[in-house]
């Protein structure tokens, strides 16, 4: 089976975990502080980085730190991992699902603008597959309506926009370091911002709201006589996770990033002549996180079945959240998100994929799309003579 995604961990990560395992504390300590500082300088050094135990926790703490509460509304693209929606609803605020720009997978800014009400407090864009759409347009919209921006940059670690790294500018940026992301710390995440209040709140809230506990933990100490002024969570990162993350960060520019760029280039080259599929636009500076394609003419499900039968694991990113029972169960309709949901297919994409694997996947896709038998099965349009590849 050619795998859709996987963690890529080497002997150096294992050695570093072993080193940390010999320390007196395994929880949040010096290693986490170092990872935060190294991430900060990688991103450009202007913002603070607060590490937590998942990307979802990062989004939740960002949402809480900007004061979201019941009665507030938050604009969010429907085509995202349910994590973005859950982080918003965890504060009591209501996620307002928005439609998608079909060329980039980014939130449709016109649709988002139409959904602004006096209760709208924030917008959570998602950098779908590692690329970002009109991010400057999004910040303009936010500014003109006084909305906070929390970027779900779970897919976009390492991506640059307009020559600047995602996480080096903007309001609040959240990364995920789960097992298959551009870099991993096993599980993990980070909040990146220069807002002193968010830095302060998120630092405390990740440690059950115990005030100023982060500084103590960095020294392997505890707080004994502390105060708590808000509901917090057990969201801190451990030194074991940070040890993995630090090695992955060192490998990123030299190893993971070039590999991801090469794989995307090869897929696009090999499938360039297939008229039956479409790629999303990737602006210069994108580090691709996954390889979603759109399969046109109602052929996604048969192609998906064909690939699975031929030992190629594929996925669908994502079922739009407005269709989930908890978020309305399809009470509203978002035409582009729903069309994309019927067309999307994510192809195998991880740094251990060989060139020959990509050739094999593309050959399978082409042989499926070229097969006249399959074309005549399309039925609906009855124009079986059009070659789709
Ligand atoms: C991975 C991911 C997250 C956060 O996931 P965690 O598993 O909690 O680290 C959030 N949003 C998107 C779009 C993701 O892909």
Q: Which pLDDT tens digit goes with each residue over 111-125?
A: 999 999 999 999 999
Share of the chain above pLDDT 90, in %: 93
Dump strand ranges (E) for the chain. 48-52, 73-77, 94-98, 120-123, 148-152, 160-161, 164-165, 172-176, 189-193, 277-279, 291-295, 344-347
Quick check: 299 and 276 in contact, CB under 8 A? yes
How far is Cα of residue 117 from the mean position of the Cα atoms in its chain? 27
Q: Ligand 1 centroid to 176 CA: how many Å?
A: 6
CA distance 273 to 69: 50
pLDDT for res 45: 79
Question: Measured between alpha carbons, how far is residue 120 from residues 20, 74, 105, 197, 350 in Å?
Answer: 45, 6, 22, 21, 38
Tell me the per-residue pLDDT of 222-239, one tens digit each, with 9 for 90 and over. 899 999 999 999 999 999
Share of the chain above pLDDT 70, in %: 96
Atom of ligand 1 nearest to the CA of 289: 15
Of 347 and 375, more confident: 347
pLDDT for res 371: 82
Tell me the per-residue pLDDT of 51-99, one tens digit each, with 9 for 90 and over. 999 999 999 999 999 999 999 999 999 999 999 999 999 999 999 999 9
Atom of ligand 1 nearest to the CA of 176: 9
Question: Which pLDDT band, with edges at 50, 70 and 90, does 382 fall under?
Answer: very low
Half-sphere exposure of 247 (CA within 13 A, CB side): 20
Q: Which residues make Cβ contacts (< 8 Å) with residue 89, sequence separation at least 6?
A: 95, 326, 327
Tell me the per-residue pLDDT of 331-342, one tens digit each, with 9 for 90 and over. 999 999 999 999
Q: What's the rounded mean pLDDT across residues 105-116?
A: 98
Query: What order of strands is seen across the sheet that includes strand 277-279?
Result: 277-279, 291-295, 344-347
Tell me the per-residue pLDDT of 203-213, one tens digit each, with 9 for 90 and over. 999 999 999 99
Residue 144 clears pLDDT 50, i.e. is over it: yes
CA distance 61 to 305: 40
pLDDT for res 372: 65
Residue 376 clears pLDDT 70, i.e. is over it: no
Q: What's the rounded mean pLDDT across residues 172-198?
A: 98
CA distance 11 to 142: 45
pLDDT for res 379: 46
CA distance 186 to 238: 10
pLDDT for res 380: 47
pLDDT for res 375: 57
Residue 100 clears pLDDT 90, i.e. is over it: yes
φ/ψ of 121, rounded to 5, equals -115, -25
- pTM value is 0.96
pLDDT for res 387: 63
Atom of ligand 1 nearest to the CA of 189: 9
Best mutation site among 4, 55, 82, 84 for ligand 1 pocket (most ligand atoms within 8 Å of CB): 55
Query: Which residues have CB under 6 Å of ligand 1?
Result: 54-56, 80-81, 83-84, 126, 152, 154-155, 176, 178, 189
Residue 381 clears pLDDT 50, i.e. is over it: no
Q: What's the rounded mean pLDDT across residues 218-223?
A: 91
DSSP 8-state class, residue 252: I
Average pLDDT score over the chain: 95
Half-sphere exposure of 128 (CA within 13 A, CB side): 31
């Amino acid at each position: 089976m050619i795998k859709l995604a996987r963690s890529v961990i080497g002997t150096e990560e294992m050695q570093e975990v072993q080193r940390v395992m010999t320390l007196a504390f395994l929880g949040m300590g010096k290693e986490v502080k170092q990872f935060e500082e190294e991430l900060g300088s990688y991103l450009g050094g202007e913002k603070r980085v607060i590490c937590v135990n998942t990307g979802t926790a990062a989004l939740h703490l960002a949402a809480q730190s900007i004061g979201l509460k019941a009665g507030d509304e938050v604009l969010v693209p429907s085509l995202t991992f349910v994590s973005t929606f859950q982080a918003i609803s965890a504060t009591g605020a209501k996620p307002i699902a928005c439609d998608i720009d079909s060329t980039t997978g980014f939130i449709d800014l016109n649709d988002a603008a139409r959904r602004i009400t006096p209760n709208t407090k924030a917008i959570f864009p998602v950098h779908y597959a590692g690329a970002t759409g009109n991010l400057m347009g999004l910040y303009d919209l936010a500014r003109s309506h006084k909305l906070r921006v929390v970027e779900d940059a779970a897919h976009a670690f390492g991506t640059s926009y307009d020559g600047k790294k995602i996480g080096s500018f903007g309001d609040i940026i959240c990364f995920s370091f789960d097992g298959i992301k551009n870099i991993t710390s096993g599980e993990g995440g980070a909040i990146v911002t220069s807002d002193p209040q968010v830095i302060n709140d998120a630092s405390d809230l990740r440690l059950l709201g115990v005030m100023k506990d982060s500084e103590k933990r960095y020294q392997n100490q505890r707080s004994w006589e502390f105060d708590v002024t808000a509901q917090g969570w057990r969201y801190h990162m451990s030194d074991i996770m940070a040890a993995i993350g630090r090695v992955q960060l060192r490998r990123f520019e030299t190893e993971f990033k070039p590999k991801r760029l090469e794989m995307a280039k090869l897929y696009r080259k090999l499938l360039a002549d297939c008229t039956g599929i479409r790629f999303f636009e990737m602006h210069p500076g994108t580090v691709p996180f996954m390889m979603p394609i759109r399969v046109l003419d109602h052929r996604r499900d048969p192609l998906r079945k064909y690939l699975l039968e031929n030992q190629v694991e594929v996925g669908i990113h994502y079922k739009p959240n407005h269709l989930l029972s908890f978020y309305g169960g399809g009470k509203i309709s978002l035409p582009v998100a729903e069309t994309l949901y019927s067309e999307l297919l994510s192809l195998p994409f991880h740094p251990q994929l060989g060139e020959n694997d990509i050739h094999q996947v593309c050959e399978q896709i082409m042989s499926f799309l070229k097969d006249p038998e399959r074309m005549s099965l399309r039925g609906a349009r009855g124009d079986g003579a059009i070659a789709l590849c």
